[in-house]
Copies of this chain bind each other. A is one copy, B any other.
Amino acid sequence: MSGGYETDTVTRLETNLDDSSPEILGATMDKLFAAGALDVWFTPIHMKKNRPATMLSVLCEPSHVETLAGVIFRETSAFGLRTEQIVRLKLGRRFETVATEYGEVTVKLGLKGGEVVQVAPEFESCRAVSEKSGQSLRAIYEAATRSWSCR
Contact = CB atoms under 8 A, between A and B. Distances in A.
A133 interface: no
Contacts of A91: 73, 79-80
A86 B11 CA distance: 12
Given A23-B51, A39-B47, 7 more contacts: A23-B49, A29-B48, A41-B47, A43-B46, A69-B89, A73-B112, A142-B149
Given A23-B123, A79-B118, A44 B47 contact: no
Query: How many copies of this chain sit in the oligomeric assembly?
Result: 6
Contacts of A75: 136-138
Interface residues of A, number: 80
Nearest to A12: B82
Contacts of A90: 79-81
Interface of A: 1, 3, 5, 10, 12, 16-30, 33, 39-55, 59, 62, 65-66, 69, 73-84, 86-91, 93, 108, 110, 112, 117-118, 120, 123, 127, 130, 136-138, 141-142, 145-146, 149-150
A84 to B, nearest CB: 6
Nearest to A130: B27
22 contacts: A10-B82, A22-B52, A22-B53, A24-B138, A28-B137, A29-B50, A30-B50, A33-B48, A42-B45, A46-B50, A46-B52, A74-B117, A77-B120, A79-B118, A80-B89, A80-B90, A81-B88, A83-B86, A83-B87, A84-B86, A142-B149, A145-B145
